[in-house]
Amino acid sequence: MDPEPDPEPDPKPEPQPENQPETDSRKEVPVPEERPSAPIIYPGQRLVIPGTHDATPSPSRVISQGTVEGKSKQIALTFDSGWLYEETLPLLKVLDQQGVKATFFPRALWVYNKDKPASSYPDLAREIVKRGHTMGNHSLTHPDMRNLSEKEIRYEIKESTAIIKNITGVRPYLFRPPYGAYDPRVLKILGEEGYPYTIMWTIDTHDWASEMRGQKVTEDYIVKRVLDNATNNGIVLMHIGGKYTVGALPRIIKGLRAKGYTFTTVDKMLPPPKREQYIYTVKSGDTLYRIAQNYGVTVEEIIKANNL
């Protein structure tokens, strides 16, 4: 639901991984963990990433509201990114100042486009993750996926996943379909491709529009829409590049806090996804915390599975 029209899809974009120096595991250069009490891990070390029982893929589950209760009323702010980028850092600054973590759903060609690098923003995508926000997926080219063949749907999902993972280091498992459009076929394929959750929203702020049902969309309109419709475990839809989004954000946060809400990310309002066991080879610069975050497990689960 981005404000700009969908451009012609680029032909088979290939993700470009970040350059990392090769590491000789025999040197056993320790990779210090972020927490002093955690075991030291080494480049080249093979770690078991524990799986859950019953990891058979099911169709992706449509989520418009969180299902895991918090200690108090909670709500998640989410931001889609399609083409615009200028307001990314100002938006992140507001979230930092307010102490709020959010969930982002970028179009993968916004993250990296090898054919049009000037129209993609890998540094901004990495900055989102660096600041502790959750990274989801909003497709590759922003099509209505109901109109695609099965092969095209899988291509959209596989390529977008690879780009986001290669650029940010995070493999997303939350998917937000462009235009909020899906059908049983799309959900089945999403589940098979490792997306247990298809994320919709409880509140659409309409920040992508200039007018809605004859009413101009302004900063006041956006703030009122969120505060009037807030609900426990709610999911708020906003966009990077919305004309009034950054201006409305501090007022939204203040108003929701006054109503007793705390802020969380979408993944924390959902049960952990089912997963198969995986063997991961530690890379230079890795920490147990980063590895655990990437694979949706806890540091303690990795320590237990590997007898560290």
- Which residue type, as a one-letter code, is found at position 303? I
- Active site (annotated) includes residue 54: no
The active-site residue, picked from 80, 207, 267, 286, is: 80
Whether the CB-CB separation of 6 and 18 falls below 8 Å is answered with no
The active-site residue, picked from 207, 239, 267, 286, is: 239
Q: Where are the domains of the chain?
A: 31-55+274-308, 57-272
pLDDT of residue 54: 54
**Mean pLDDT to the nearest integer, 47-53:** 80
pLDDT of residue 13: 45
pLDDT of residue 16: 44
pLDDT surpassing 90 at residue 253: yes
- Active site (annotated) includes residue 239: yes
pLDDT tens-digit readout, 184-241: 999 999 999 999 999 999 999 999 999 999 999 999 999 999 999 999 999 999 999 9
pLDDT of residue 4: 47
pLDDT tens-digit readout, 118-147: 999 999 999 999 999 999 999 999 999 999
* pLDDT confidence bin for 297, thresholds 50/70/90: confident
What beta strand segments (E) does the chain contain? Answer: 46-49, 61-63, 74-81, 103-106, 134-135, 174-175, 197-199, 203-204, 211-212, 215-216, 234-239, 262-264, 278-281
Give CA–CA dist 163/169, Å, rounded: 10
- At the top level of CATH, which class does the domain 57-272 belong to? alpha beta
pLDDT of residue 35: 44
pLDDT of residue 53: 56
Q: Which helix (H) or strand (E) holds 207?
A: none
pLDDT of residue 37: 62
pLDDT surpassing 80 at residue 281: yes
pLDDT surpassing 70 at residue 267: yes
- Provide CB contacts within 8 A for 214, sequence distance 6+: none
pLDDT of residue 55: 52
pLDDT tens-digit readout, 232-246: 999 999 999 999 999
Helix (H, G, I), strand (E, B) or coil at 86: coil
pLDDT of residue 27: 40
Identify which of 50-59, 153-162, 264-273 has the greatest average pLDDT: 153-162
257's tokens: 């806090």
C-alpha distances in Å from residue 241, one per residue of 80, 82, 90, 191, 238: 9, 9, 10, 30, 9
- Provide CB contacts within 8 A for 266, sequence distance 6+: 63, 66, 76, 78, 103, 134, 136, 174, 197, 199, 235
pLDDT of residue 20: 40
